Amino acid sequence: MKWNNRGRSADMEDMRGQGGGGFGGMPIPGGLAGKGVGGIVLALVIAFLGNTVLGGGGGGGGFDGLDDVLKGPKSAVEGSVPTDAETEEEVAFVSAVFDDTQAFWAEELPASMGTDYAKASIVLFDGPIPSGCGQATPEIGPHYCPPDSKVYLDLGFFDDLSSRFDAPGDFAQAYVIAHEIGHHVQNVLGTNADMRRQQEANPDQANELSVMLELQADCYAGVWAHSVFEEGDLEDGDVEEGLAAAESVGDDRLQEQAGAEVNSESWTHGSSEQRMQWFQTGFKSGAPAQCDTFG
């Protein structure tokens, strides 16, 4: 992917090296944090080992009352942790993708959906930190928290994405960020809140509704990728990298990697095939209206 290094995003908070806080050491329940490529490691370590995962993937959930807790500054904090040129370039890449996805949706939402876009922010962290959804930990994986409108990202996850999940490449990383911003778009549109109400009214459909929400975020990531293509900034192999990332975080594949029986009734994010399909739907159409996974 072609990109320009403009340094750190004004919407980035660097909380690396500041871990250890939180709410009584409690991790965010899977369904509350796990809007995202979200809960990948959580899914492996918790969901498929038989522990209870609450909420099915909606985000926010029982932590709605913490909307204003520790939102922190909306500007980048440079020099907060020791860094090197390679890491700083990775931070700059994350910033570039994050800013580009936000700029795209700031134009697209009013034009195609009649809704103004409200910015999110992205938090880099490497240890337990408090968030609007409870405690964010690296074990949860990248995720979006609706109450504070923030994406939480541990850069170490990208190493896992390449080596552990066999999805290398910069556009695989871009897919992760775009997926999380897809959840922010859902929050702005009220889709997340509608889904939570449906889950409460129909608890037997909670997982199915969670899958629909996740697949829509995949589709929105594809819509953004289409805009990158239109700008001429996609390089050979980029789409394949994005698809590999989507495939790597399918519930069926994660269950297989965890040595568990593949059970579609326990899925919260969708199968590898579904995730690739909806990313492609967004990419080929470039139209958010084509991302009606609930329909």
pLDDT tens across 249-261, in order? 899 988 888 888 8
Share of the chain above pLDDT 90, in %: 67
Paired with 151 in beta bridges are 122, 144
* Nearest-angstrom CA–CA distance, 27 and 50: 16
Q: How many domains does the chain have?
A: 1
For residue 191, name the pLDDT band (cuts at 50, 70, 90).
Answer: very high
Residue 7 domain-assigned? no
Residue 203, domain member (yes or no): yes
* Mean pLDDT, all residues of the chain: 82
Q: Which residues contact 295 (CB under 8 A, 6 or more apart)?
A: none
CA-nearest of 268, 271, 237, 276 to 252 is 271
pLDDT at 265: 86
- Residue 136 in this model has a pLDDT that exceeds 80: yes
Contact (CB, 8 A) for 277 and 250: no
Q: Is 4 exposed, middle or buried (0-12, 13-18, 19+ CB in 10 A)?
A: exposed
Within a domain: 142: yes
Residue 61 has pLDDT above 60, yes or no: no
Chain position carrying tokens 């549109």: 189
How high is the pLDDT of residue 257? 82
Give the per-residue pLDDT at 31: 41
- pLDDT value of position 54: 26
Kindly report, residue by residue over 8-46, the tens digit of the pLDDT.
999 999 999 987 644 333 333 444 444 555 444 444 433
Sign of CA dihedral 123, 125, 131, 133: positive
Higher pLDDT, 20 or 159: 159
- pLDDT band at 295; cut points 50, 70, 90: confident
Contact 119, 12 (CB under 8 A): no
**In the predicted structure, residue 80 carries a pLDDT above the cut 70:** no
Query: Does a structural domain hold residue 295?
Result: no
Q: Taking 60 as the threshold, does the pLDDT of residue 78 lie above it?
A: no
* Residue 28 within any structural domain of the chain: yes
Segments forming the whole domain that contains residue 169: 12-284
For 256-284, what is the mean pLDDT? 92
Residue 279 counted as domain residue: yes
Cα gap 74→99, rounded to integer Å: 13
Considering the domain boundaries, does residue 206 fall inside one?
yes
- 217 half-sphere exposure, CB direction, 13 A CA radius: 35
Strand, helix or coil for residue 173 = helix
In a domain, 3, yes or no: no
Query: How far apart, in Å, are the Cα atoms of 92 and each of 31, 85, 105, 159, 229?
Result: 30, 10, 20, 16, 21
One-letter amino acid for residue 230 of the chain:
E
Please tell me the distance from the alpha carbon of residue 17 to that of residue 21, in angstroms, as a whole number. Answer: 11
Question: Nearest CA to 145 among 70, 94, 220?
Answer: 70
Cα dihedral value 222, 225, 230, 235, nearest 10:
-130
* pTM as predicted: 0.82
Mean pLDDT of 47-64: 29
